[in-house]
A = this chain, B = another copy of it.
Amino acid sequence: MSIKPTSNLELVLTRIIDAPPEKVFRAWTEPELLKQWFAPKPWTTSVAEVDLRPGGSNLIVMRSPEGEEFPNPGVYLEVVKNKKLVFTDAYTSAWVPAEKPFFTAVITFNDEGGKTKYTARAIHWTVADRQKHEEMGFHEGWGICADQLAELVKLM
């Protein structure tokens, strides 16, 4: 299934996940769960720090199969338990500007009769950045991770 982006600044991925929103939200916000699905295998997530409140830091470090580490620092902007999560890489912590504001992630978890309609939006500041993100493999990368997420929550 797919949802149309609401603007040419946006990339969107959706899934129906066979678990209730509470579990999918936990997988997004508990570091030990986040580490199990966030990076597309064989990449791994070596660090996941989650300070879950507006202005709280989130730091995720992804590690390549060769052992190279890629830190992704960001800040949560909005947290609605079991429903919505918003964060951006425009700040590395509250309110330290990142070298380049690239995107804002808006993740929603909607209950559909015990399943979750999962929607991940990446909203960019420029069309060029949206295109770049698309060419970097947004749909494939976030898609693989969404599959890993769906597998994990089935076991929870």
A residues sitting closer than 8 Å to B (CB atoms) are 9, 54-55, 77-78, 86, 88, 90-91, 94-98, 100-101, 104, 106, 123-125
Hey, which chain B residues are within 8 Å of A98, CB to CB? Answer: 125
The answer to whether B97 and A9 touch across the interface, beta carbons within 8 angstroms, is yes
A101 to B9, CA, bound (A): 14
11 A-B pairs with C-beta separation under 8 A: A55-B78, A55-B86, A90-B90, A95-B104, A95-B106, A95-B123, A97-B104, A97-B123, A98-B125, A100-B125, A101-B125
Hey, which chain B residues are within 8 Å of A100, CB to CB? Answer: 125
A22 to chain B minimum Cβ distance, whole angstroms, is 22
A96 to B121, CA, bound (A): 12
Hey, which chain B residues are within 8 Å of A95, CB to CB? Answer: 77-78, 86, 88, 104, 106, 123
Q: Which residue of B lies closest to A121 (CB)?
A: B95
The answer to whether B101 and A77 touch across the interface, beta carbons within 8 angstroms, is no
Hey, which chain B residues are within 8 Å of A88, CB to CB? Answer: 95
The answer to whether B106 and A125 touch across the interface, beta carbons within 8 angstroms, is no
Q: Which residue of B lies closest to A75 (CB)?
A: B77
Q: Which residue of B lies closest to A101 (CB)?
A: B101
A56 to chain B minimum Cβ distance, whole angstroms, is 10
Hey, which chain B residues are within 8 Å of A55, CB to CB? Answer: 54, 77-78, 86
A3 to chain B minimum Cβ distance, whole angstroms, is 16
A95 to chain B minimum Cβ distance, whole angstroms, is 5
A55 to B124, CA, bound (A): 17
A90 to B104, CA, bound (A): 11
